[in-house]
Amino acid sequence: MSAEEKAKWNRRYAESGTQNLRREPKAWLGELAELLPRSGAALDLGAGEGQTAIFFAQRGLDAEAWDLSEVALRKAHGLARQAGVTLWTRCVDLDEAPDIEPDKYAVISCLHFLNRALIPAIAAGLRPGGVVVVEILGTPNLERSAQPSRRYLVEPGELDGWFPQLETLVRYDGWVGERYVCRMLARRRA
Ligand SMILES: C[S@@+](CC[C@H](N)C(=O)[O-])C[C@H]1O[C@@H](n2cnc3c(N)ncnc32)[C@H](O)[C@@H]1O
């Protein structure tokens, strides 16, 4: 990750945040309620302003929000205070092989943040019975929108190969409104 990338995200969050990006994943998480844990540790990668981590904290999990933007994480603390929950935030460059503790998390989420190098560490970070939740835009999205650019998108079907050791419980690639989303919820066997 370049210093420019960090500055870009800090600027974006200082200006207005990512309002369009953040609502829809949260709505989808609500649909997954039955499959998500209610205790243990939760980790949201590329957490932005922390809405997903707050959602986990509200469910009773010890929620961690990791992101490279300190501006976003400051906002996350503010939102958590308003919501009456505690968040653990970590300002970290996830391109630099962060130490995700093995066998720790009841849930790890990765929503609209793409770093394929983290896939093995995410799988290893789940405790038995833990779940990973992924939602990322797919390359067909470029048919309707030039942003995000291809480097932030996955190919349709790509998520099928990400976690062969886990049991896939939810998978969807397709249009949701004007966005082409690739979604997965997969579980480590208990
Ligand atoms: C598109 S936003 C998604 C935010 C949130 N997950 C959501 O769905 O609303 C991508 C997030 O990834 C973070 N990010 C980008 N590159 C990163 C890196 N190398 N390490 C950690 N976070 C990064 C950005 O700061 C930003 O908050």
Atom of ligand 1 nearest to the CA of 10: 25
Pick from 66, 64, 60, 45: which is nearest to 113 by CA?
45
Counting atoms of ligand 1 from 1, which one is nearest the CA of 95?
Answer: 19
Model confidence band, residue 27 (pLDDT cutoffs 50, 70, 90) = confident
pTM comes to 0.95
* Ligand 1 within 6 A of CB of 72: yes
Give the model confidence (pLDDT) of 94-104 as tens digits: 999 789 999 99
Residue 22 pLDDT exceeds 60:
no
The tokens of 111 are what? 């929503």
| Distance from the alpha carbon of residue 48 to the mean position of ligand 1, in angstroms | 5
Regarding the beta carbon of 69 and ligand 1, being less than 6 Å apart is answered yes
The reported pLDDT for the residue numbered 23 is 43
The two tokens of residue 133 are 């939740």
Residue 162 has pLDDT above 70, yes or no: yes
Q: How far is the CA of 8 from the centre of ligand 1 (A)?
A: 11
**Are the CB atoms for 108 and 65 separated by under 8 Å?**
no
- Is the CATH number 3.40.250.10 carried by domain 3-187? no
- CB of 135 closer than 6 A to ligand 1? no
Rounded CA separation 13/19 (Å)? 10
User: For position 17, what pLDDT does the model report?
Assistant: 56
Assess whether pLDDT exceeds 70 at residue 1: no
- Number of CB atoms found within 10 A of residue 156's CB: 14
pLDDT band with cut points at 50, 70 and 90 for residue 26: confident
Starting at the earlier edge strand, list the strands of the sheet with 41-45.
88-91, 62-67, 41-45, 105-111, 126-137, 179-187, 167-176
> Could you tell me the pLDDT band of residue 21, with boundaries at 50, 70 and 90?
very low
Nearest CA to ligand 1 atom 14: 46
State the average pLDDT over residues 162-172: 98
Phi, psi of 131 (to 5 degrees): -125, 150
